[in-house]
Structure 1
Amino acid sequence: MKKIQGLHLKCPIEQHEFLELACVNKLCKANRVYCHQCLKNGDHVAHQKDQKNLIELIEFFHKIEQESENLISKLCSMVEEIRELFIELNQELRKTFQFSKERLQQLNAKQLNQALDQIIQFDEIKIDLLQELETCSDNMVNQLKILIKDLKLKQQHNSQQNKQEQEQEKQKVEELYKQGYKLYWDSKYKEAIKLFDAALFINTKHLDSLNYKARSLYYLDNYNDAIIWADKALSIDSKHIDSLNYKAQCLFYLSNYNDAIIWADKALSIDSKHIDSLYYKGNCNDAIIWADKALSIDSKHLNSLQTKCNYSFLIWVNHYTKWIIDQALNCKPNNCYSLYLRGKCLQSLQRYSEAIIYYEKSIQIDPNFSPSKNGKAKCEKLINKQQ
């Protein structure tokens, strides 16, 4: 069934499908909105004649909206009729009991006698009138207050239920994310993605789950899909530096150097000292220089220059990054991240066996440091391919 825009909601039952049906039976105690899986489980089978699909549900809401407006109009008419009767009653009271000096001077003896009889009865009429109308007024006011209170209580109850459900969903999302996060740092990226997907099924805008799904796809070398999920994170927070950085890295490994520089620059505009963004921007700049040279000469030499273009960043690593890392290791020889970066440089230089040594040193310091574990696994895989 085609989903209705604005009603693309998941079933309240965990691990069920999206909502497709609604029940309008007044005595029903089950969830009013449900999916086909609920129906297969036996819910609402006793009153299927009261079942509506989502298109019919929208029409049902529209029908009740019109009927409620008709009710409001009728109540307003009742109020207007009462108001007009009160105006008429006030006019009659003035005619009966209000005699100005000018009006009295216009009366004859008989009329004055009748007027005096009316005036003398005023206290009695006033008491009777107020007792009757106050009783009616009190009854109506009390009844209206009861009706208004009932409606407000229903709204408050629904609001409290919604808040509780939202809080439960929030807790569930965080729980799924934390489980996925743990798997991510254990380098179990495929398993982690399943949990991030489960969290995103409940909350499609959960930024941390979007970010770490993109990261997981990156470490699985699925760069195109990683960019898609990084973009989804950036649609929520355009300055999310991790997503900007990983998008730049994915574009770099897809040899899209110009775009990689653009996204690295966006990350650097937020944090000018962001190491990874500086690293990949430098790689891209060197690669573009060699690509431009390749395009300016005879095609016979094109392949060799393209190859140099793809690996030109190794020169930058060798002459700059490697020096910085060595300085860091001289200061702190047991720094986990510096050891990882040294291994990464050696891996980029295709010195896989040496890279593994540094990755292993990093892992010895922090056995759960995923980048080093992942780098070691990649180097071992590349060594096996060469043999």
Structure 2
Amino acid sequence: MQQMNADTIKCPNSEHANDVKLICFNESCKANRLYCIQCMKDGTHISHPQNQQELPMLFEFIEKTEKECNDWMTSLNQQMDLAQQSFYFLLEGIRSKYQKTKEQFLNLNSKQMNSFFVEIIQFKSVQQTIKDQIENSIKELQNQMEKLTYGLKLSELNYCSISDSNIQKSEELYKKGYQLYWNDDNYKEAIKMFDQALIFNSTHQLSLQCKAQSLKMLGQYNEAIIWIDKALQVDPKHCNSLYCKAESLRMLGQFNEAIIWADKALEIDPKHCSSLFCKGTILTQLRMFNEAMLVIEQSLSINPNNFDSLWSKGLCLQQQNQFKDAITFYEKALTIIPNHQWTKNRRDECLKALNNKSLFKFLKIY
């Protein structure tokens, strides 16, 4: 890969020994955009001198375009997220309207029972109609994406090939960054290493994902989402990346959208403990305690020592004023990470609540 540096960029004209000094911004120009002094002497670009700039302008233009492209892709992702959120609400509405247990049905009054029965009698016809509409809409969207890909000639790109040496260098830098991220908890330095890895291979998925994870650990959730979206462009089915987006959205308070992304991870790997923890915690925050407990228990059945799921179960119990049981799970979590201050604080809150409860009972007796 040729270095983007005025001292090393050679003129595209193989007969010229000079380095590139100038660039052409004329949209309709057919000549080489990067050219040397000899090209200029030969009369190249002479018809539109107003569009010529010195080489440093190229790097400014590339940087500006990269930012604009990131903003544009973020906007497109947001539009797709809105569609996914609408789809999630549709699924929740269908579940609420057509699914009831025997116990739930018996808790309805006679008028509600009749209405529910009328709806489920019509379920088959409604199911087919919605199925056809969704399939047609998805097919139309896929056709539009294919047309855009063809129109932009994205399948014909030939300047993104990466040399073996750059791939190897990128992997070496990623491993150094991962050491800083995973073993040393040095997220800022890890990000610097991941950035260096991405200079040599901009599509190194693990560097993109670990940079996003590091940003998340630093509390920079919006920035984390930007980088995790880049990782998902490389591998849309990477569970840890999907979880990272779900968890970042959870921390931003965007609970419904976070559940969508946690569910995407769980579609790929139903036993992905981190995504189960994330979904369970969101349900707790939404005060859907029964549903939350089912999801958290599922995670703990897979890995009884999953730290996040242990404190999440403690939180779910604490939110229901089951302080004694909550303390049990906070203590279990602290046997894994003894110095986790958040968990210590929640445990102490439960202990204080129990002490206050005992004191109240004592005062009530006397």
TM-score, structure 1 as length reference: 0.43
TM-score in terms of structure 2 length: 0.45
Larger C-alpha radius of gyration, 1 or 2? 1
> Whose helix proportion is higher, 1 or 2?
1
